Structure 1
Amino acid sequence: MKFSYVNPTQIHFGQGQIETIATSIPKDKKVLVIYGGGSIKKNGVYDQVCDALKEHTWTEFSGVEANPTVETLDKAVVIAKEQAIDYILAVGGGSVIDGAKYVAAAAKYDGDGWDILIGKHQVTDAIPLGAILTLPATGSESNSGSVITQKSTQTKLPFMSPAVQPKFAVLDPDSMKTLPERQLVNGIVDAWVHVCEQYLTLPTGAMVQDGYAEALLKNLLKLAEQYGERDNNEWRSNLMWTANQALNGLIGSGVTHDWATHMIGHELTALYNVDHARSLSIIQPSLLRNQIATKRAKLEQLGSNVFGLAASSDLAERTIVEIENFYRSVQLPTELTEHGDDKAAAIDTIIKQLETHGMVALGENQAITLEVSRQILEDAVK
């Protein structure tokens, strides 16, 4: 292991913690509150934000999509520049927070904000931002990553910069009370695959990272089993904190990462509007089977330590079946079904987009070429 690790985001966790933004954001800062479709006005979160910011000067921008588009976010960038915004407060799930990160960075750049996503502009400066999490899934509230879509070209790309790491994040489980069931189960699976992308790679002997990753995976299995209890504070709190810890940088420190499932899944989302978590549950099983030779040791470790499976020569294969069963238990698909009737044409389109976006050598060994990605997609077809 060799790594440098720090997570500077201050977490305010628990019921009633939205009030902490009153002191977390300096009162002399002009604030832009960014949120999504307006659900925060139905669950009481918006009213709490208004109350907490009553001594601040602030304005708002709404309408950030479930997969935030640059076309929408650039409108917020204009506001941030014209009104000399000093601080951004993202109120929502990972998409809103990702979008706010883009706005924070693009507002400090004179060129086309999309330059950030294609690597033409490296982000070194951004408007400070904080986050109020309402949908646990991505961990975006305390990491430096963001994923943005360009609707006009059906392109979904990530960027990372310490400059857009939230200064603070409020995690109040009460904000989850009115979430649709589809979003809750998406959050469980999204967090699961985030852990897998940092764990299901190569043996590294990193006992803390492996052990913590396994604890998080067992949490998610238990939360899925206890889904009928989702209306109590304990269940909501544990999902919110588990999803946060899945991608706050700790379990990924000093270990090999994969992220191929995400890169292929992003194309499904951009092209066919498949929910992010569902794109992951569709791609991951066939990807694991395709890469089983190099992932066998960690799959066996997961099967034994998380699913409690007995040792056998086919332990890795049985572990993949258990992962599929887990996805199906929360009604998420494990096969490519949400992409139209012409499956061959859909796969051709996805492969073309992967090539356009430079995703031609994916995975921890850079062994997932376009040809391998095609095989993974064909294996995922129902």
Structure 2
Amino acid sequence: MHNVLILGARSPAGLTWARMMAKAGYRVHIAESLGYPLGRFSKYTCTYTRLPPPKQQSKQWLEQLIQLLLREKIDTVIPNCEEVFYLASADALIQQAHPCQLFTSAMSLLTQLHHKGFFAQLTQNWPVTAPETILLTNQAEFTAFKQQKFSADKQWVFKPAYSRFATRTVLCPKTIEYSQLQANPQQPWVAQQYIDGQEYCSYSIIRHGQLVAHSCYHPKYRVGQGAGIYFAPVQQIKIHQFVEHFAAQTHYHGQVGFDFIEDSAGRIYVLECNPRATSGIHFLEQLSQTAQTAIAHAVVQADADLAATQLEMDLLQPAMHNLVMLFTPQTWRFFTQKTFWHDYHRARDAVWQRQDMLPYLIQLIPTAEIVFRAMSLHIDFLAATTVDIEWDGAPLTFY
């Protein structure tokens, strides 16, 4: 039987993959650097292995990952979070020790996509482009930007070139000082023109440049200004066409998400790229079992039919993180909105599944592990979810 290893099993996306792969007839293993990841409690998981944190212990992480690949005779590895960067960087070493499929692109492409400035440059002359984006790597570049670009008639968003969940983003300041950014070559920032409009996000599965599955949604409710927790499905032909163009131009391989904005004139801009799983994956669980199995086969079988699965987004329920919506203090402000409870009752929880209830019922256990980590490291909850796996451009070595 084909053995599939799911990395990033802390995320609901990892749980979705475990369920989808097992139902398609594959033997599912998961590995994580957390002790109690969500996917560990799924009935569809055959084995769970705790790995060292790849960011802090890269060498040990790779050594134990290779031991796992050999022990369980893994055929395909599917990363879901930022461990994808460590996996892609170690590709040659992994293939030397245990040849297998890694569902990821080359590290050179992932770097270009993860870096918000490099990605904006990549989209130039594409059908959908990024807003004007200026890379800032030192005080001289910041000073030149402020003198030449920063004015009252144009608003800007400042964000680290490597970042997630909109952390540290400075949105449309009336004034900005270099001390607020401290940009340098190792920790670059970007200034991106602010576009007012409707937000959209996409999630896609791409195999060697060919689109396998695609979804698009509006992140209607967020925790703060970053992570979305409620996803309303939408049809956006221009976004679908952009993803097809991206796949063909880059020959991308793996999971990828994009953030977009549509202005009042109907023009769509792409803001940034997430070369990993995003919340749009949860719409796949509303497809027929035949369609889900076809997607699973397309990921792991070289000769599988790669006809794209078209999701009729207007026929799907919204998806949400139920417990996050109810118990996160940042979301309580929504409770007084007239539409909130209507939206809440319309949506389908991203974790709940009647045939596999335990992950939903024990969500407080992995949440408590993250809370304890946040308290011990004196960081906020969102930062604690990725502190052991995130990659911000530093050279990676495994020796």
Q: Same fold (TM over 0.5)?
A: no
* Structure holding more strand per residue: 2
Structure number with higher relative contact order (C-alpha < 8 Å, ≥ 6 residues apart): 2
TM-score normalised over the length of structure 1: 0.30
Decide which structure has greater helix share. Answer: 1
**TM-score normalised per structure 2:** 0.29
